[in-house]
Amino acid sequence: MRSIRIIGLALLAFMLFAMPVAAAEVRIAYANLQKALNECDAGKKAKDTLADEAKKLEEELNSKQEELKKMKDEIDKKGKVWNAETREAKEKDFKNKSQEFQKRFMQYGEDLNKRKQEIESKIIQGLRDTVEEIAKKKGYNYVFEKSVGGLLYAPADADLTPEVIKAFNAKKK
């Protein structure tokens, strides 16, 4: 009976001394990296650069498409008066250029998407580094990502996004 009492008192003493450690303040914040990517200077510049590249590619593709349209119109209009050999050669040339156009169209889309992912991943990594710096400086234990969809609610005062954008822009200048 006495040993049970001693164990109980030891357990109570342990809990009393461990309580302040367990009650240490846990600081939690969140940041919306997608919003930060769209609003930071580097993200805006990247979006403009990609839009310019897409416009140039679109102009080039439109030029090739117009060329194909002219070839098709010529085949349709003059094909009946050409001899079989000429008509077959023109149709073969048109088919080859059409296939080349389709390949180029797909390749441009893939290249542009790849470039976008590369640029955005570099910026996102820089934003993550900035979040980590702010969290360490301000003593946050955890910082969650809001745009992923896992965070359903958080108070606005726990949002580090504006501070992350400001700090990231300052680092990039």
Is 11 domain-assigned?
Answer: no
Phi/psi of residue 30, nearest 5 degrees: -145, 160
Residue ranges making up the domain that contains 94: 25-172
Is residue 68 in a domain?
yes
pLDDT for 78 equals 87
Give the mean pLDDT of the chain.
86
Q: Residue 3: its pLDDT value, please?
A: 53
Residue 17 counted as domain residue? no
Quote the crossing angle between the two packed helices 41-78 and 161-172, to the nearest 10°: 80
Q: pTM value? A: 0.72
3-state SS, residue 73: helix
Average pLDDT over residues 38-57: 95
CATH number at residue 102: 3.30.910.20
Kindly state the DSSP code that residue 158 receives in the 8-state scheme.
Answer: G
Per-residue pLDDT, averaged over 112-117, amounts to 95
Tokens encoding 112:
């542009």
Measured between alpha carbons, how far is 127 from 135 in angstroms, rounded to an integer?
A: 12
Residue 96, token pair as written in the block: 């080859």
- For residue range 64-89, what is the model confidence (pLDDT) as tens digits? 999 999 999 998 888 888 898 998 99
Q: Which residues of 123-133 are buried (b: 16+ CB within 10 A; e: fewer)?
A: beebbbebbee
Name which of 14-23, 40-49, 112-121, 140-149 the model is least confident about. 14-23
Within-domain flag for 71: yes
Nearest Cα residue to 164 out of 34, 27, 28, 48: 34
Indicate whether 117 belongs to any domain: yes
Per-residue pLDDT, 4:
55
What 3-state DSSP class applies to 68?
A: helix
- As for how many domains the chain has, the answer is 1
The enclosing H or E element of 32 equals: none
